[in-house]
Amino acid sequence: MPEPTPSPVPDWLCWLPPRLVALDVEATGLSAGDRMVSVGAVALATASLAAGRPEIVCHHLVVDPGRTSHPAALAVHGYDDWLLRHQDPAALHLPALAQVLAGADLVVAHNAAFDLGLLNREMALAGLPPVAPRVYCTMEAYRRRGEKGRAALDAVCRRIGLARSGARHGALEDAWLALRAYLWLQACPVAVARPELAAPSNLRPVPPRPEGPLPPRG
């Protein structure tokens, strides 16, 4: 019997990188002195999209930033200082995270300058070299399309029919939303299902919170 003819590669798959990682970082605030609180990454083998069964691997971490979060940032990520001061320092997990990003042909982020800038500040504080992957910013790409209105992640998600599962910004879910925005911008017709939004894999148990004001850090 003749060999079956292989299915043609879809046009949209030809311009996708073999392996991409979508990234999101949550922080104590927006200034140059702020620190990382949590990070989410969703790695996708794009060839799996052609079969309609996307293969993703998720990474989700929470770290002690060494300082309290600005109230506005706390309202976004939801990790209070009592929980964070009982977590690992970022430096403990940065080498493994750098390996995840180094294995990507493309790193995708919404407002990539903020996410990669913050991550590389953490790398420098840990005495590690910066990560320098090829980067695609979905926020900038959305603006280049000439779409009307704001280019914040929430606005882009509304445009493509997506929403967060809750009011807070989880790093893993936001990484997945950035991935979905990237695939939409690339005219990819295959949807990647929302991953299980479990707690960070390295989350440490926290002792009972003391009554009254928290004791000083350290």
Taking only the tens place, the pLDDT of each residue in 17-34 is 999 999 999 999 988 889
Q: Report the CATH number that the domain containing residue 48 is assigned in CATH.
A: 3.30.420.10
Judge whether 27 lies within some domain. Answer: yes
In 3D space, the residue among 103, 85, 23 whose CA is nearest the CA of residue 59 turns out to be 23
Residue 9 lies in a domain: no
Match 């690339």 to its residue by tokens. Answer: 186
Q: Is residue 210 part of a domain?
A: no
Question: pLDDT tens, 34-43?
Answer: 999 999 999 9
Greater pLDDT, 191 or 12? 191
Identify whether 44 is part of a domain: yes
pLDDT of residue 3: 59
The 3-state secondary structure of 17-39, one letter per residue: CCEEEEEEEEECCCCCCCCEEEE
- Please check the confidence at residue 4 and state whether its pLDDT lies above 70: no
Query: pTM for the whole thing?
Result: 0.92
Number of domains forming the structure of the chain: 1
What's the pLDDT score for residue 11? Answer: 79
Is 217 within a domain?
no
Q: Could you tell me the residue range of the domain that residue 126 belongs to?
A: 16-186
- Sign, CA dihedral 69-75-81-85, equals negative
Tens-place pLDDT, residues 157-176: 999 999 888 878 899 999 99
- Considering the domain boundaries, does residue 67 fall inside one? yes
For residue 2, pLDDT beyond 70 = no
* pLDDT given for residue 157 in this prediction: 94
